[in-house]
Amino acid sequence: MPEESMPKEAAYQVINDELMLDGNPRLNLASFVTTWMEPECDKLIMAAMNKNYVDMDEYPVTTELQNRCVNMIAHLFHAPIGDDEIAIGVGTVGSSEAIMLAGLAFKRKWQHRQKSQGKPFDKPNIVTGANVQVCWEKFARYFEVELKEVKLREGCYVMDPEKAVEMVDENTICVAAILGSTLTGEFEDVKRLNELLMKKNKETGWDTPIHVDAASGGFIAPFLFPHLEWDFRLPLVKSINVSGHKYGLVYAGVGWVIWKNKEHLPEELVFHINYLGSDQPTFTLNFSKGSSQIIAQYYQFIRLGFQGYKNIIENCMENARVLREGLEKTGRFDILSKEVGVPLVAFALKDSTNYTVFQISENLRRFGWIIPAYTMPPDAQHIAVLRIVIREDFSRALAERLISHVEEVLKEMDALPTKTTHITATVDAVQGRKSAKKSEREIEEEVTQYWKRFVDQKRTGVC
């Protein structure tokens, strides 16, 4: 800390100058997180920056706005709410906290059931696909729950429902399905999972439930695929989380977790505190937090309405289509993402002999584009992909400009000496040109080992 103060103008300029070296959020195509909101909402956010959300008695309107948001989301997810009932849910700091809360509720329900039957309750587990976001690994490690992952395979980059149900045992607190995988944007088959799990529960007498991690897809499916059954319409889906700061169209960080009804949220997890004047029920991992994002979420709900959200998401899907078709026309890429899913494009090089997706990502940086490259989780870790997320502020003009920049990068890299030539020349030099050239397969294996050094530690944090 400096010994002396400085003028406020100087402090501002010092920090502002350094921040100029950050990437442009609008060109950050790695992130699902919203990077633009209307100026009117920006004003509401700034006006609420000094409100601590936990002071519910002092800011009762803010609390009411959160409850209205919970109700709207619950109805969007078809929660069975009667006319005289209120929805059960809470606003969180993103889906990570929401998943922690949902997981704790499942763990506690499972423990009660095991205790009532006189069975051990010290080794809970949760079944997921290997494509889950890192917050599930955090939950498992922090709260001592074994994470049983269904491995992926080439051509299938989401959890296989059949394999997931095979891994379920008496100690499984829930199966976590992903509506919108961060890797490819694909929706997992929650309906099929529900059918298989209901059958297994009936055969075994267990009561294993489902949680849907709809962080990315929860504000996609209701508007674009209303007949897709993935939510509380399915009997075993007991809780759902969704990120308001993704396709809920709010700045980071706000998330939501909704329970089907009150019986699935154990009462002992809800704290009743007498703080600053009134009884305040709370079930969060955080205490103090800002009110701005809750207010911003409510603004978006009443500003856009159902049709407004639908129009924005449809536009995102159309821009994803333009981008996908432009990449396909190059003839260089395999598209791994699906049309039914989150508006993103995940794609892999058809031939990585001469250069890799990591080098393409690095070269696109000079145009300002931030596009992640990563390898898939086990057992598809030999597949390396690029992923472009389409948000509200990514226009068709930007999509066309990005395609032209990808084509330019490909043309430049085609003109460079290939790795195959470099490796072959090096091997020949070392052997004094005494041996014949290596077979194509041997060269391909060496090239693969060469580019794998680029991918270490690049599988985590792709959110």
CA-CA-CA-CA torsion sign (401, 405, 406, 407): positive
Summarize the confidence of residues 244-272 as an average pLDDT: 92
Q: Which two tokens stand for residue 365?
A: 């940086």
Summarize the confidence of residues 128-133 as an average pLDDT: 94
Q: Among 314, 392, 303, which residue's Cα sits nearest to residue 69?
A: 303
Summarize the confidence of residues 115-134 as an average pLDDT: 95
Pairing verdict, β 237-243 and 255-259: antiparallel
Summarize the confidence of residues 289-300 as an average pLDDT: 95
Summarize the confidence of residues 254-270 as an average pLDDT: 92
For the CA atoms of 65, 69, 70, 76, the dihedral, rounded to the nearest 10 degrees, stands at: 160
pLDDT at 237 > cutoff 70: yes
Among 27-31, 153-157, 268-272, 405-409, whose mean pLDDT is lowest? 268-272
Summarize the confidence of residues 16-35 as an average pLDDT: 92
pLDDT digits (tens, 9 = 90+) for 296-337: 999 999 999 999 999 999 999 999 999 999 999 999 999 999
Average model confidence (pLDDT) across the chain: 89
- pLDDT at residue 287 in the model: 80
- 419 against 34, higher pLDDT: 34
pLDDT at 281 > cutoff 50: yes
Half-sphere exposure of 253 (CA within 13 A, CB side): 10
pLDDT digits (tens, 9 = 90+) for 64-123: 999 999 999 999 999 999 888 889 999 999 999 999 999 999 999 999 999 999 999 999
pLDDT at 259 > cutoff 60: yes
Q: Which domains does the chain have, with CATH numbers?
A: 43-304 (3.40.640.10)
- pLDDT at residue 392 in the model: 95
With a threshold of 0.85, does the pTM exceed it?
A: yes
- pLDDT at residue 298 in the model: 98
pLDDT at 393 > cutoff 70: yes
- pLDDT at residue 185 in the model: 96
